[in-house]
């Protein structure tokens, strides 16, 4: 299990390095790609997840996927908490690495970019705050995400899973990501949110734990559970 835990940790960290990194690259003052926009960011998230899966192989890098695999009988329930903790810690460390890389740009942006925008480089936030609707969006996004991954994983062509998952992330981000930023993953949101809370960022906004716990924290687990039951019951996928 230790090898798998390290893989989950490193895979999640790499995913976050690409994802939080692209937000910093497109928003912070003085970067080469400032103002590149959401297509640039969402594409990098998709490609970054593909690369993490190519490197680390059969990893979940998402506590919601760990839950789905436990429900389907592919992982023992004893793996759920250790895997999830490793993934969240990977999200923290990946975010810290990005902060170190962009430290000069964070400093240059202090008086120009709002503290809330800086926080949102790390973690997700709703375009319109409506917690019940935000919860539904993250639930449904995750349902599509986990269902899609389970379907893609049935195709045994080598290399298809990392590419397919990257395209799936790209499509969900473009089509469904506008309301909440499509976290679909407690580790993706909570790890960077923790990093933002502990890093010495000037003029820091509060971390909005209420939103972080209820929407990107809890909703993905419900989406993953329904996806596992649906894909098993309707398609016979384990």
The domain that holds 104 is classified in CATH as: 1.20.1080.10
Residue 203: predicted pLDDT: 85
Reply yes or no on whether the pLDDT at 166 is more than 90. yes
Contacts of 182 (CB under 8 A, 6+ apart): 124, 138, 141, 172, 173, 176
Reply yes or no on whether the pLDDT at 220 is more than 90. yes
Residue 230: predicted pLDDT: 98
**Phi, psi (degrees; rounded to nearest 5) at 72:** -85, -5
Q: Tell me the average pLDDT across 222-226.
A: 98
Q: Tell me the average pLDDT across 110-132.
A: 97
Distances (CA, A) of 34 to 100, 105, 111, 171, 222: 18, 11, 16, 23, 36
pLDDT in tens, 96-117: 999 999 999 999 999 999 999 9
Q: Tell me the average pLDDT across 202-225.
A: 97
Query: CB-side exposure of 52: number of CA atoms within 13 Å?
Result: 29
Residue 231: predicted pLDDT: 98
Task: Quickly state the pLDDT bin for 140 (edges 50, 70, 90).
Answer: very high
Structurally, the chain folds into a number of domains equal to 1
Q: Whole-angstrom Cα distance, residue 151 to residue 148?
A: 5
Task: Quickly state the pLDDT bin for 75 (edges 50, 70, 90).
Answer: very high
Residue 93: predicted pLDDT: 98
Answer whether 11's CB lies under 8 Å from 65's CB.
Answer: no
Which string of DSSP letters, residue by residue, matches 194-226? HHHHHS--TTPPP--HHHHIIIIIIHHHHHHHH
Its domain, for residue 27, covers: 1-235
Task: Quickly state the pLDDT bin for 1 (edges 50, 70, 90).
Answer: confident
Task: Quickly state the pLDDT bin for 148 (edges 50, 70, 90).
Answer: very high
Residue 135: predicted pLDDT: 98
Mean pLDDT of the residues in the chain: 97
Residue 227: predicted pLDDT: 98
Q: Tell me the average pLDDT across 180-201.
A: 98
pLDDT in tens, 35-64: 999 999 999 999 999 999 999 999 999 999
């Amino acid at each position: 299990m230790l090898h798998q835990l390290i893989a989950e940790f490193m895979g999640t960290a790499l995913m976050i390095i690409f994802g939080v990194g692209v937000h910093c690259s497109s928003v912070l003052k003085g970067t080469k790609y400032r103002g590149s926009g959401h297509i640039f960011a969402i594409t990098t998230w998709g490609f970054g997840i593909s690369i993490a899966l190519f490197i680390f192989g059969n990893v979940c890098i998402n506590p919601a996927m760990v839950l789905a695999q436990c429900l389907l009988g592919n992982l023992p329930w004893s793996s759920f908490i250790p895997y999830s903790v490793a993934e969240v810690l990977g999200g923290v460390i990946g975010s810290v690495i990005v902060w170190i890389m962009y430290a000069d740009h964070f400093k240059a942006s202090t008086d120009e970019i709002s503290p809330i925008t800086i926080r949102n480089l790390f973690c997700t936030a709703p375009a319109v705050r409506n917690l019940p609707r935000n919860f539904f969006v993250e639930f449904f996004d995750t349902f599509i995400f986990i269902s899609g991954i389970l379907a893609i994983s049935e195709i045994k062509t080598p290399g298809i899973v990392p590419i397919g998952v990257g395209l799936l992330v790209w499509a969900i981000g473009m089509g469904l990501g506008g309301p909440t930023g499509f976290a679909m993953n407690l580790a993706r949101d909570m790890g960077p949110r923790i990093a933002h809370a502990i890093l010495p960022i000037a003029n820091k906004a509060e971390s909005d734990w209420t939103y972080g716990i209820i929407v990107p924290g809890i909703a993905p687990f419900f989406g993953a559970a329904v996806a596992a039951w649906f894909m098993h019951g309707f398609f016979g996928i384990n």
